[in-house]
Structure 1
């Protein structure tokens, strides 16, 4: 018994028996749990922050950068652009005037300048030459008869004073003399007619000008029904026959300057409007404007050309061609709103010049207009605008 009690004292002592059961230590576990929770929250926050940053960067990359221009308003010439066909201002068809016949010679080529009355071609005249000789002989006969009748009359007048012949004989001889003189006139007129017909066998230029076409060769048999053998431009003057809408016709007048550029060249020729169409085509609602041009070998009748007609000046925004787009609805531009979104704006354009396109309506000049890449944008798109220098 004493041994057991001693053992109990040695293990726990008296204090252990008196204090009773001791409480468990829980605070280390609580601290560990808090550390774990804080670590999880921190990891979630870091991951979420990275994801949001990546999304923002991705969104930033998706917003395109566009170049914009604020055009303002400038004084620009109001230009009307049109196209048309080059032609001789006064075209002269030259053909056979008389009976015709076989062409014996042609003296000119297309592109050659000729003087008024110059022979372009000749037609065989062998038959008329013989007729001319015959009629010339008839004139000589009639002239001889007229001289004889005059001599007879003069002798009779001397004899009537002496009483050898009567006054009636003198009157008869006077009538004979007058008839012979008339026959002379008839014979000469017939000879002149024959010579005139012979002269018409020479095909001559009606006025000085430029030969445009040649439709005959030696050996051809031609007549008055053969049509034009040559076509000429009087004085070499040319013109552009252009078609304009009736609204544009109302804005121009005779005497306005125009610049004409033939297709295939960059050379510009200055002309002036010399005639406006007095009527409007009911189907096309267009009229013809005729622009006079001086001669130049590059202006070939039948060719196609572009014309710009100045119809005054106006104050308007001026944009580069790349900023103006078009679709079936008409011309338009894209503008950037204050919130950097894109909006479509319909515009009415004027003439195209070296400095750009004049916008007659639709813009005030203070808008931010997308300079290029408008074809890749849609209304409402978000963009990053970068300002450029205004055109002009």
Structure 2
């Protein structure tokens, strides 16, 4: 009987302990780890997107017209240097005009020599009275006309020589050929576009920013541009647009890129402009719960009950996120699993270093 009574007492004690443990577990909705806000110094940046364009484009066109394209020496993509021959126009007719004009100059020179000689002889006999004043004036006028004719002929000769020089279409600066409109054998007009060059081979990224973002941008800031191929190119802010568009309220920022990069005009790229570093209050991204378009954190009180709080979030870096809403530095915040919690839910705080967060069933 004594043994039976002792066994009954032990069973009741054990049974009571189990019920208490189950009640305690039922009161806790989740076992969680807690974190506190952490102050860090993070680099700021402005993220934008925009097209890649040529720093400057150069249109190459003939200065003389009515001539046939006799030779094309470069194609699209070719790198050229200042003064390099790109195309040549047929110059047969101009060379014929040149010979004719050289003969005209020689003829005008002979006429001037004759008129000068006549005027010199007339002045010799001027004092003798053999010639009248009218005759002397005629000799002077004839000499002046001959001199003017020679000057005009020489000017025309210079013009033909210039046109001959202009039959050689050369590159006005270093760069590469971005487009070609010239067709071999085509008769071109003066000013017609034959080639288009990217001057100095320089390409720029030109994103558009609003007034708030623009106030943070300065020349010389570093920029990382992500090309469509996935390659990243490092550039530098060359200039900030001085005015904003009345239609969009945005201004263009001009970012210079290295000439040896894979950037090409016509691409569209995303980029990040680096700003000065700034302090940030951060939490693990796992502590943020998104509901109905808002971001929440769950705070623990002294009794380990949770309450939700709406927060504004900012920059992200690695697995941490910036919290813009002021938070007490000693606040206890649920590190993860907040999506399973409800308002005023009781939780169990896991010991420090225990890497588990599990629902209690």
State the partner residue of 1:337.
300
Matched, 1:253 2:218: yes
CA distance in 1, matches of 2:107, 2:290: 88
The superposition leaves residues 360-391 of structure 1 with CA deviations (integer Å, 9 ceiling, x where unpaired) of 456566555666677x5566476666678xxx
Give the structure 2 partner of residue 184 of structure 1. 150
- Partner of residue 307, structure 1: 271
Post-superposition CA distance 1:199-243 (Å, at most 9, x none): 3333332333332222334234433575x3322222222211101
Q: Contact 1:260–1:271 (CA<8 Å) still a contact in 2?
A: no
Query: For the structure 1 residues 299 and 320, does the alpha-carbon distance in structure 2 shift closer, same or farther, using more than 3 Å as the test?
Result: farther
Select 1:175's aligned residue among 123, 141, 148. 141
Task: Indicate the larger mover: 197-206 or 172-181.
Answer: 197-206
Q: CA deviation at 1:101?
A: 3.8
Alignment-derived partner of residue 94 in structure 1: 60
Match of 1:117 in 2: 83
Deviation at 1:295, TM superposition (A): 1.4
Match of 2:250 among 272, 286, 299: 286
* Cα deviation code 1:246-268 (max 9, x no counterpart): 21112323443333332323433
* 1:207 corresponds to: 173
Distance 1:281 1:249 in 2: 15
- Paired position in structure 2 for 1:316: 280
Equivalent pair of 1:246/1:280 in contact (CA under 8 Å): no
State the partner residue of 1:270: 235
Query: CA contact under 8 A between 1:333 and 1:369: conserved in structure 2?
Result: no
Q: 1:360 and 1:336, CA in 2 relative to 1: closer, same or farther beyond 3 A? A: closer
Q: Distance in 1 between matches of 2:204 and 2:129?
A: 82
Q: Give distance in 2, aligned partners of 1:217 and 1:337.
A: 78
- Bigger drift between 215-224 and 76-85 goes to 215-224
1:152 equivalent among 92, 96, 118? 118
**TM-score using structure 1 length:** 0.71
Q: CA 1:372 to 1:304, structure 2 compared with 1: closer, same or farther past 3 Å?
A: farther
Distance 1:218 1:364 in 2: 76
Pair 1:132–1:310, CA change in 2 (3 A): same
Aligned counterpart, 2:30: 63
Q: Deviations over 1:39-68 (max 9, x none)?
A: 9xx9999889867866866887x73656x6
Name the SS of the counterpart of 1:73 in structure 2. strand
Aligned mates of 2:286, 2:178 — CA distance in 1: 42
Give SS of 1:97's match. Answer: coil
**Kept in 2: contact 1:333–1:370 (CA 8 A):** no
**Distance in 1 of aligned mates of 2:218 and 2:277:** 15
Change (3 A) 1:201 1:235: same
Aligned-CA RMSD value: 3.9
Partners of 2:206 and 2:15 lie apart in 1 by 75
Greater share of helix residues, 1 or 2? 1
Q: Displacement of 1:308 after TM fit? A: 2.0
1:335–1:83 Cα change, 3 Å: farther
TM-score of the two chains, using structure 2 as the length reference: 0.76
Deviation at 1:80, TM superposition (A): 0.9
2:161 is matched with 195
Does the aligned pair in 2 maintain the 1:87–1:300 contact within 8 Å?
Answer: yes
Q: Computing the radius of gyration over CA atoms, which structure comes out larger, 1 or 2? A: 1
Where does the alignment leave 5 or more consecutive residues of structure 1 unmatched? Answer: 1-34
Paired position in structure 2 for 1:107: 73
Match of 1:110, SS state, is: coil
Check conservation: 2:311, 2:324, Cα contact below 8 A.
Answer: no
Question: How far apart in 1 are the matches of 2:110 and 2:334?
Answer: 100
Q: Which runs of 5+ in 2 are unaligned?
A: 354-361
Alpha-carbon displacement from aligned partner over 1:311-370 (angstroms, at most 9, x marks no partner): 33322124566666778846x3534434363735332414x5568654445656655566
For the structure 1 residues 92 and 320, does the alpha-carbon distance in structure 2 shift closer, same or farther, using more than 3 Å as the test? Answer: farther
Is residue 41–residue 278 contact of structure 2 (8 Å, CA) maintained in 1?
yes
- Distance, in Å, in 2 between the alignment partners of 1:70 and 1:92 is 59
| SS at structure 1 position matched to 2:125 | helix
Query: What is the CA deviation profile of residues 112-169 of structure 1, one whole-angstrom value per residue up to 9, with x for unaligned ones?
Result: 3333333321222333332233222222211221122112222222333555434543
Q: 1:231 aligns with which of 166, 183, 196?
A: 196
Give the match for residue 6 of structure 1: none
